[in-house]
Amino acid sequence: MGIFAYRVYYDYMEVARSDPLPQTPKNDGEIAQALRNFKNDLEQCLPDKIPRVNVVPDPHSIKVVFETSLSEAETEELVERCLCGLHLSGRKLQEV
């Protein structure tokens, strides 16, 4: 089992560069909802029976820490899919 941590946030410019279809910027309510939905999406995608996902909110982002049986490469791919689906950005944290 590996423990992974990510900072998840909304950055319109990052999302627009990675999305071939033009998107309008999210408003504050939409950003808050997308950040809340990230945990649920991640839990549903993780193959572990009882995924342990911990979220620590910040003013404009969340820190997500979770444990999984997936490899590092598989985890990065899964997190990227969850981020793209919600039009969010994220970066892997070295410290858990």
pTM: 0.87
Sheet holding 2-9, edge to edge: 52-57, 61-68, 2-9, 89-92
- pLDDT on residue 16: 65
Q: Looking at the 3D structure of the chain, how many domains does it have?
A: 1
The phi, psi pair for 78, rounded to 5°, reads -65, -45
The CATH number covering residue 73 comes to: 3.30.70
**35 is in which domain, residue-wise?**
2-92
Interval 9-49: pLDDT, tens:
999 877 666 666 767 889 999 999 999 999 999 999 999 88
Q: Could you tell me how many residues make up the chain? A: 96
Alpha carbon 94 to its chain centroid, in Å, reads 15
Burial class (CB in 10 A: 0-12, 13-18, 19+), 90: buried
